[in-house]
Structure 1
Amino acid sequence: MSLQNEEMEVIIKVKRFSQDKGSWWQEYKLKVDRFTQFTEALRRIKTEQDPTLAYRAACHMAVCGSCGMKINGEPRLACKTLVIDTVKKYGSNVITLEPMDYFTPVKDLVVNLDDFYERMYKVKPRLYPSEEVLKGEAEHRLKPEDQRMLWKFAQCIWCGLCVSSCPSVRNDPEFLGPAAHAKGFRFLADPRDTITEEREKILLDSAWRCTYCYMCYNVCPRDVEPVTAIKKTRAYTKLAKVKSPVIETGEKHTQAVFESIFESGKLEEAKVYLSTYGVIGSLRDMIYLLQSGKLKYALVKEKPVENISEVRKILRGE
């Protein structure tokens, strides 16, 4: 059989949910070909086998962001994922579909996105032009180099996959989340915008709460790289007139990492930790290290790497 005519039978196990019954798994069998997307598979299940199945989908071309879900445990857009490709990737014709993590399920694969939209609107996701432009007395021009830099972060389709996979969102309610930061930076860095200082107040503290786990980078279906937006947002810290304790701690940590590498060419974690949090702030962890017998490793003095002078040249930008 040619690849163009490739067909196979698959078993799609859907984690269903209803307010009355809670969660349960249900299996569906269907034949697919090499062009069948998961949105198409779900449409066929709903129309041919089970009209009670609930899911979201609209554009079927990775633009609207409606069909985010977990496919074999991996956050994906159902319209951008082919069924046969998934079978080949995992070596099994049994595939699981689940609602996105973090968000509260409403019905089957549909989740409540109110929290996600609240985070997105907190960053004021639109351009605030000058009064002259609003009155028609002037126009804003965007240089090609500025457009190229902003374009990546303007591609966010609000699908929520990055937030569903982000541990910092779960652990820190003050963290706005990767999608909000991508959208926020798109306007923070836009030279036509007029509320830069207000945006800094909204974004900076949250940016220093990201742990750089790169899950948002891995799951984004549009290659937006929200973590890059967060890194670029942190660069605005030097302009901030008021800095929160989180920002101050983050700056200390960054400086400590720089000094550690500058002195030894290595990341001396114990030294960085002490420089960041101070002796008092580190006391609880030092007691734990002492009790576990690991304190001796924290006190090891690292020897500089060979050619440390070359490392220092790089850090100085020479």
Structure 2
Amino acid sequence: MTQSQEEEVILKVKRFNPEKGYWWAEYKLKVDRFTQFTEALRRIKSEQDPTLSYRASCHMAVCGSCGMKINGEPRLACKTLVLDVVKKYNNNVITIEPMDYFKPIKDLIVDWDEFYERMFKIKPRLYQAKEVLEGKAEHRLKPEDQRELWKFAQCIWCGLCVSACPAVVIDQQFLGPAAHAKGYRFLADPRDTITEERMKILIDSSWRCTYCYQCFNVCPRDIEPVTAIKKTRSFTKTYKDKSEIAERGEKHVEAIHESILKTGKLAEAPVYLKTYGVLQSLVDLVYMSKTGKLKYALVQERPVQNINEIKKIIGE
């Protein structure tokens, strides 16, 4: 396709208002290979339907305000080209919906209040030493520290990762991937002075992540919030006031390491026993017996051949 060539597409927009609820509206328009979804929506609003509502501001993937679901995927509308989606799905009919998890206000516009509450819980700013604030000293950041922090400082609060995350739906105590990306940026900053307070805010929540990697898949800035969560978990060893879920998480990691070290495999029964303890394991064994799954808990794992090679890989 050349720059001047156009192709007709059908955008099916899931609309909403409090009086009517949800309904679908279809719009036909011609687009070229440079047409972003923000431009397509602007044309629909200005040329076909002035009642259509959506958010967009910078049009260059910086403000994060144009998040929406395009063919079921959380995306920034300004960073997504219409014909790229047509090519990906081999279909010129494209669905556009408001992001999941967020409460809809009107059409593609959603309520950000709860998202911002979670983001501000992690205190998203640097708390410097008193001497620095008084101008008596200065904080310098080493290049290696800057490299560690830079990726996570790029979060634009677009909410796509939260929209894709199943854990925030089922666990209100999980702060969400965006909050953890921003939280780790300050937790790992050597200039910050409230490390203990940050650990109290972040560590319990970090062990509530299910590691589904959806945040990794949808982030438009390649921030990898799940990596920030993994790194936050590493602070658990130095934190004294651990919650039950953090202690259990540490036991689980130790059990997996021990299993792989001994057998070269993930032996589920011993890992479960060490993670949850004898009493809880007995309760669950009764349930497994009733459901006919007890045989899986009694499988005897044989060590892999050349177990020493496995030990070399994990540094033992």
* Common fold: TM-score over 0.5: yes
Alpha-carbon distance between aligned partners in 1 of 2:7 and 2:258, rounded to the nearest angstrom? 58
Residues in 2 aligned to 1:285 and 1:126: alpha-carbon distance in whole angstroms: 44
- Residue 241 in structure 1 maps to residue 240 in structure 2: yes
| In 2: Cα distance, 1:284 partner to 1:93 partner | 54
Residue type of the partner of 2:224? E
Q: Which residue of 2 aligns with 1:23?
A: 22
1:110-163 Cα distance to aligned partner (Å, 9 max, x none): 000101000000000000111111111111111111101100000100000101
Report how far residue 245 of structure 1 moved. Answer: 0.4
SS, match of residue 217 in structure 1: helix
Which amino acid in the other structure matches residue 259 of structure 2?
Answer: S
The 4+ residue runs of structure 1 with deviation greater than 6 A are none
Cα distance in 2 between the residues matched to 1:257 and 1:104: 39
In structure 2, the residue matched to 1:56 is: 55
Give the equivalent residue in structure 1 for 2:66. Answer: 67
Amino acid of the residue matched to residue 65 of structure 2? S
Q: Deviations over 1:5-45 (max 9, x none)?
A: 33100000000000100000000000000000000000000
1:135-214 matched pairs, under 5 angstroms: 135-214=134-213
Single out whichever of 280-289 and 6-15 deviates more from structure 2: 280-289
- Partner AA of 1:267 in structure 2: L
- Give the structure 2 partner of residue 224 of structure 1: 223
Q: TM-score, with normalisation over the residues of structure 1?
A: 0.97
State the alpha-carbon separation in 2 of the partners of residues 209 and 96 from structure 1: 32
Q: List gaps (5 residues or longer) in structure 2.
A: none
Residue 279 of structure 2 corresponds to residue 280 of structure 1:
yes
SS at match of 1:288: helix
- Tell me, which stretches of 5 or more residues in structure 1 are unaligned? none
TM-score of the aligned structures, taking structure 2 as reference length: 0.98
Distance 1:52 1:4 in 2: 31
2:260 match: 261
Shift of 1:283: 3.4
Letter of the aligned partner of 2:143 in structure 1?
P
Note the alpha carbon deviations across 1:187-236, whole angstroms, 9 max, x for none. Answer: 00001111111101000000111111101000100000000000000110
Give, in whole Å, the separation in 2 of the partners of 1:142 and 1:128. 14
Q: Which residue of 2 aligns with 1:125?
A: 124
Q: CA deviation at 1:314?
A: 2.6
> What CA distance in whole angstroms lies between the structure 1 residues aligned with 2:171 and 2:281?
21
Amino acid at match of 2:68: M
Measured in 2, the distance between the counterparts of 1:29 and 1:173 equals 40
User: Once the 2 structures are TM-superposed, how far is the Cα of residue 309 of structure 1 from its aligned partner?
Assistant: 1.2
**Equivalent residue, structure 2, for 1:300:** 299
Q: % of aligned pairs identical?
A: 74
| Structure 1 equivalent of residue 288 of structure 2 | 289
The reply to whether residue 91 of structure 1 matches residue 90 of structure 2 is yes
Q: Which moved more, 1:303-312 or 1:70-79?
A: 303-312
Give the Cα separation in 1 of the matches to 2:75 and 2:282.
43
Cα RMSD (Å) = 1.0
Distance (whole Å) between structure 2 residues aligned to residue 68 and residue 194 of structure 1: 34
Matched ranges for 1:3-42 at <5 A:
3-42=2-41
State the one-letter code of the partner of 2:3. Q
Within 2, Cα distance between the matches of 1:15 and 1:234? 39
Q: Aligned with 1:137: secondary structure?
A: coil
| Secondary structure of the structure 2 residue equivalent to 1:3 | coil
State the secondary structure of the residue aligned to 1:96. Answer: strand
SS in 2 for 1:53: coil
| CA distance in structure 1 between the aligned counterparts of 2:284 and 2:169, rounded to whole angstroms | 23
Q: What amino acid does structure 1 have at the position aligned with 2:172?
A: P
